[in-house]
Amino acid sequence: MKQRLTEKGADLSRPYEKCLMYGASALTDAELIAVILRCGTKGKDAVALADSILKLSPVRDGVGGLASLSSADYMEVEGIGEVKAIQLECVGELSKRISQATARKSVSLSEPETLANYFMESLRHENQENVLCVMLDAKLRIIGEERITRGSATMSVISPRDIFMAAIRHRAVSIALIHNHPSGDPTPSPADLEMTERVCEAGRLLEIRLIDHIIIGDMCYMSFLENGYIDAGSLYAE
């Protein structure tokens, strides 16, 4: 095969050299993954192997689905061993954390959409239900977050005690609950509604306000504050 050369002799059919010449933004999704893989396997170069990886996600094709994949998922592709699988899983996790770190600067607790967007990338790909408690100071700034549960447990079996123990550890003045629906539909279940009321009541007794409960779906969310399940005045109460 005839190589495509620049004036410096770089082979632009190779993603690494293309990146060296023009930067990572010039690479396709498959080429970016190929740089991480470094080499292909018998009968497949690195770019062809990357194309197979991009078709793995049960959520959607393309790079957007990689955040939902585990190392075990990657190892289903012929030519991907444990080392490469772990590298790819770490890349997916890193992308979620970068997205969160960028979004955190613009989080406004008076605007549930910004809080939902902050957790969207880390939760919308999850195949199991996760419940997070977000701790806030007197100025409604995020001072910590803690996973209360992960797995098959539903909101109906979560104890407010676990939630407020986390809040007390962080010396939180108020909290927000975030959890995902793996179905992608953020409509609250009767258990979600009941649990939210129990947490609100416990918070009133402990003087640690629940300012919102946000359910994350697939690129959508439901805010208990926005929908009137939680008193909007409590967000600004002294």
For 172-199, how does the pLDDT look when each residue is reduced to its tens digit (9 = 90+)?
999 999 999 988 899 999 989 999 999 9
pLDDT of residue 155: 58
CATH superfamily entry for domain 106-235: Cytidine Deaminase, domain 2 (3.40.140.10)
Confidence of residue 106 (pLDDT cuts 50, 70, 90): low
Averaged pLDDT score across all residues of the chain: 82
* Highest mean pLDDT (candidates 7-16, 59-68, 98-107, 189-198): 189-198
Contact of 118 with 103, CB cutoff 8 Å: yes
Confidence of residue 5 (pLDDT cuts 50, 70, 90): very low
Q: Is the pLDDT reported for residue 98 higher than 70?
A: yes
Task: Name the H helices within 124-231.
Answer: 160-169, 190-206
Q: Is the pLDDT reported for residue 235 higher than 50?
A: no
Confidence of residue 59 (pLDDT cuts 50, 70, 90): low
Q: Is the pLDDT reported for residue 160 higher than 80?
A: yes
pTM, two decimals, is 0.60
Interatomic CA distance for residues 171 and 165, integer angstroms: 10
pLDDT of residue 70: 85
Residue-wise pLDDT for 20-32, tens only, equals 888 988 999 889 9
| Residue, of 12 and 107, whose pLDDT is higher | 107
* Helix (H) or strand (E) run with residue 179 in it: strand 174-180
Is the CA virtual torsion 54, 60, 62, 67 positive or negative? negative
Question: Domain spans of the chain?
Answer: 15-99, 106-235
Among candidate residues 15, 125, 130, the one with its CA nearest the CA of residue 67: 125
Residue-wise pLDDT for 202-215, tens only, equals 999 999 999 999 99
